[in-house]
Amino acid sequence: MQDLTRRTFLAAAAGALAHAKPTTKMKFGLTSYQWGADWDIPTTIANCTKAKVLGVELRTSAKYKHGVELTLDAAARREVKRQFAGSPVKLVGINSAERFDWPDEAALRNAIEAAKAHVLLAHDTGATGIRVFPNQFQKSVPEEKTLEQIARAVNEVGKFAAGHGQKVRLECHGPVGTLPNIAKILSMVEQKNVRAKLNGDVRDNEGGRFAENFATVKDKLGDTLHMRWYDGNKFPYQQQFQLLNAMNWDGWCFVEESVKVTDRVQALIELRQTWEKWTTI
């Protein structure tokens, strides 16, 4: 039933935009959560090549089959880099689950140091940056203090990352992760390599105010975003794409789906084809 609903949705979207001319600079990719969770690196490369999905992010700390984790030694990291370098698929990001909202100082320090370790993993495997979370407010801490703490943490990680040619992608995630809050955080961050990662959050369109909220981070956007289309199509992706095209954004749009489908490669092909039509002006 889900496959039927998906195909109907994709066919309708494709038909509505069949006559548009492609003008986007954006690129289409896959994050390994969760459609790629059970794919090793050769399988990831083969499946993405078949689907013409030429960029990937690899999630860590969740026992994914690709095995790209902090525990990899230098030789294993070089092998990961070699495999992607010899393929049409680019390893764009290492997606950590580190977050900087911890009220406990030791936990916060551990998260910062773990994020720095992910920076090294990204550098060694040929990626261009890492993903981190803000992530939520604490009952015992004023919200503004939490935002300030997150800003200090990502600034420190960003300074470290800059020394290794890496980017820090602060994802719009969790209760903190609305666009206005991300804008507040980044206004306190000095490091220019720390940027916002859009995440298709329906909260940012409450009252039809997506364009207004988007404007708060327009000048702070990174080079990646996440898309989840099988949620009833509640997020205004076409509007987002139009706004991104208007500013000639040339980043990666990563599929991040968890819904079960019969054939993930075919689903990726169909999503890419629809995305290609949706990202036209």
pLDDT tens-place string over residues 196-216: 999 999 999 999 999 999 999
**Residue bearing the bigger pLDDT, 4 or 128:** 128
**Residue bearing the bigger pLDDT, 258 or 204:** 204
Cα dihedral sign for 197, 202, 206, 207? positive
pLDDT tens-place string over residues 3-21: 545 565 555 555 544 444 5
pLDDT beyond 60 at 183: yes
pLDDT tens-place string over residues 74-101: 999 999 999 999 999 999 999 999 999 9
* Token pair listed for 47: 């499946």
pLDDT tens-place string over residues 39-82: 999 999 999 999 999 999 999 998 899 999 999 999 999 999 99
Left if phi > 0, otherwise alpha if psi is -120 to 50, otherwise beta: which for 122? alpha
Q: What does the pLDDT read at residue 16?
A: 47
For residues 14 and 8, give the distance between their C-alpha atoms in angstroms, rounded to a whole number: 10
Q: What does the pLDDT read at residue 162?
A: 98
β-bridge partners, 226: 254
* 2-278: CATH number: 3.20.20.150
pLDDT tens-place string over residues 229-255: 876 568 999 999 999 999 999 999 999
Q: What does the pLDDT read at residue 15?
A: 53
Q: Where are the domains of the chain?
A: 2-278
Q: What does the pLDDT read at residue 230?
A: 75
pLDDT tens-place string over residues 141-165: 999 999 999 999 999 999 999 999 9
Q: What does the pLDDT read at residue 62?
A: 84
* Token pair listed for 154: 């990502």
pLDDT beyond 70 at 176: yes
**Average pLDDT, rounded, for the chain:** 92
Contact 172, 198 (CB under 8 A): yes
Q: What does the pLDDT read at residue 280?
A: 81
Contact 10, 273 (CB under 8 A): yes
Among the listed residues 201, 206, 158, the one whose alpha carbon sits nearest the alpha carbon of residue 176 = 201
Whole-model pTM above 0.85?
yes
Percent of the chain scored above 90 by pLDDT?
85
Q: What does the pLDDT read at residue 18?
A: 47
* Token pair listed for 16: 């509505």
